[in-house]
């Protein structure tokens, strides 16, 4: 029997999925789950409820969100405040996703036990949901062996470990179906970049200037790079939202970080720092598409910099015992697989030096890395096509659930 895509998505529209997200810090946990929720809803027509414990953080990347509402809808997704105890009842759906091993509320776990028992008593009752733990993205090879493994929980229900990743044996990477074509169209017309900068209140940027977006954690290497750009021949614009990157630049700023407001420009020699307003994720993607180089961090902006098809530095989220450097290395090996060795050395050197706060080395590698270098640019364009490995995370996830 053949089932058409339309039939499959209309079957999905009867499905209810819940995603629970606890914000550990910053915007990555909510950033990833929000992307996931939007794509499940828009492309798979699944009814998604996203439960979030910190709506104030969420509002930074979804400006229309009202942090005081216990429940609200945006982009077709129901967003519920996750408080303990829950103010809104959780009703068992078809799929339950806990993001990044967050501890589900006791009420939810109790509902799972009840659902399991009811199904055990009479298989005509609704099946308990497929329960998944969505893990962090890593390019390490062990991920392939752990993706999809079940673990029996006290409720008698299996919980599956769902690992995003770069190979076909992993859960894939979040990427909307039309993202690459949307980006290509955007990048074909330089007017888009100019219009975007204008809408963000960024002025004085000529077409020939180098534009770099900066969304990193604190790093003395960033200060060194800014000082390097300041003395450089090319005019450089660093677009930086209020946040952690600026903490490293306090010594060169004319006022305290609190006093900075979006749209402000601070000029030093050939560098202009622009204070960037934070936008929603769609706006942020377009910013990455429009810059010549992006400095990104965490998980979601890291992936979006890859989808932007531009060269980038990944400031990885620090972990205990420098474990993050192992993750960084695994990704760099993969990314540099087909790069000419000299270019690979400069790109890896730059990323490692930035992450290890080796200020002088960062500038040295920056100088070696010519942004106009054709192989570097071509690689940045080809990489998304190779990395997506035919199928994105949401498509793989829906199939995984069907097979579970």
Ligand X SMILES: Cc1cn([C@H]2C[C@H](O)[C@@H](COP(=O)(O)OP(=O)(O)O[C@H]3O[C@@H](C)[C@H](O)[C@@H](O)[C@H]3O)O2)c(=O)[nH]c1=O
Give the residues lining the site for ligand X (CB under 6 A).
24-29, 31, 61, 215, 241, 278-281, 284, 297-302, 317
Report d(CA 338, CA 103) in Å as an integer.
Answer: 41
> Scanning the structure block, which residue is given the tokens 């990944």?
314
Least distance between ligand X and beta carbon 282 (Å): 8
Least distance between ligand X and beta carbon 161 (Å): 16
Report d(CA 83, CA 55) in Å as an integer.
Answer: 11
Cβ proximity to ligand X: between 158 and 242 the closer is: 242
Cβ proximity to ligand X: between 141 and 319 the closer is: 319
Residue 280 appears among annotated catalytic residues: no
Among residues 223, 211, 383, 214, which one has the least CA distance to residue 297? 214
With residue 246 as reference, give the H or E element that holds it.
helix 244-247
Contact 345, 364 (CB under 8 A): no
Question: How long a stretch of residues is the chain?
Answer: 404
Q: How many CA atoms lie within 13 A of 119 on its CB side?
A: 14
Structure token digits, residue 247: 């903490």
Q: Out of 94, 98, 285, 299, pick the active-site residue.
A: 299
Among residues 152, 14, 17, which one has the least CA distance to residue 90? 17
β-strands 150-152, 158-162 pairing: antiparallel
Cβ proximity to ligand X: between 76 and 262 the closer is: 262
Residue 320 appears among annotated catalytic residues: no
Structure token digits, residue 171: 């859960």
Q: Out of 18, 29, 94, 135, pick the active-site residue.
A: 29
Least distance between ligand X and beta carbon 115 (Å): 30
Which residues, in sequence order, are bridge partners of residue 60? none
Cβ proximity to ligand X: between 53 and 94 the closer is: 53
Cβ proximity to ligand X: between 15 and 216 the closer is: 216
Contact 83, 67 (CB under 8 A): no
Report d(CA 151, CA 343) in Å as an integer.
Answer: 43
Cβ proximity to ligand X: between 116 and 193 the closer is: 193
From the number of C-beta atoms within 10 Å of its C-beta (0-12, 13-18, 19+), residue 306 rates as buried
Strands (E), 54-94: 71-74, 77-81
Least distance between ligand X and beta carbon 200 (Å): 10
Least distance between ligand X and beta carbon 298 (Å): 2
Q: Which residues does the annotation mark as catalytic?
A: 29, 299
């Amino acid at each position: 029997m053949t089932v058409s895509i339309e039939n499959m998505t209309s079957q999905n529209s009867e499905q209810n999925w819940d995603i629970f997200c606890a914000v550990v810090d910053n915007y990555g946990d909510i950033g990833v789950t929000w992307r996931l929720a939007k794509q499940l809803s828009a492309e798979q027509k699944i009814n998604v409820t996203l439960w979030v414990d910190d709506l104030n953080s969420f509002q930074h990347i979804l400006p229309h969100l009202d942090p005081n509402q216990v429940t609200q809808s945006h982009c077709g997704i129901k967003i519920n405040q996750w408080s303990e105890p829950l103010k809104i009842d959780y009703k068992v759906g078809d799929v339950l996703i806990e993001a990044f091993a967050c501890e589900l509320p006791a009420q939810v776990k109790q509902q799972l036990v009840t659902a399991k028992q009811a199904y055990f008593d009479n298989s005509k009752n609704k099946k308990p949901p497929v329960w998944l733990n969505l893990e962090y993205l890593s390019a390490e090879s062990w991920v392939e062996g752990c993706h999809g493994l079940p673990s029996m929980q006290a409720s008698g229900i299996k919980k599956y470990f769902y690992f995003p990743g770069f190979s076909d044996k992993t859960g894939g990477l979040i990427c909307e179906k039309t993202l690459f074509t949307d980006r290509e169209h955007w990048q074909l017309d330089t007017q888009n970049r100019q219009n975007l900068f204008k809408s963000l209140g960024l002025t004085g940027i000529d077409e020939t200037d180098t534009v770099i977006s900066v969304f990193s954690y604190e790093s003395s290497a960033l200060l060194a790079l800014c000082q390097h750009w300041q003395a450089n021949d090319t005019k450089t614009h660093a677009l930086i939202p209020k946040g952690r990157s600026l903490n490293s630049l306090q010594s060169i700023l004319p006022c305290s970080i609190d006093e900075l407001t979006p749209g402000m420009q601070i000029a030093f020699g050939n560098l202009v720092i622009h204070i960037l307003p934070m936008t929603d994720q769609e706006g942020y993607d377009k910013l990455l598409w429009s810059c010549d180089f992006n400095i990104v961090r965490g998980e979601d902006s890291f992936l979006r910099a890859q989808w932007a098809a531009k060269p980038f530095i990944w400031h990885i989220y620090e972990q205990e015992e420098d474990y993050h450097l192992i993750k960084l290395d695994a990704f760099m090996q993969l990314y540099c697989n087909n790069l000419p060795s000299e270019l690979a050395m400069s790109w890896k050197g730059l990323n490692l030096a930035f992450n290890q706060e080796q200020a002088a080395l960062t500038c040295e590698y920056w100088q070696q890395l010519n942004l106009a270098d054709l192989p570097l640019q071509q690689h940045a364009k080809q990489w998304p096509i190779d990395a997506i490995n035919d199928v994105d995370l949401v498509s793989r996830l829906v199939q995984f659930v069907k097979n579970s």
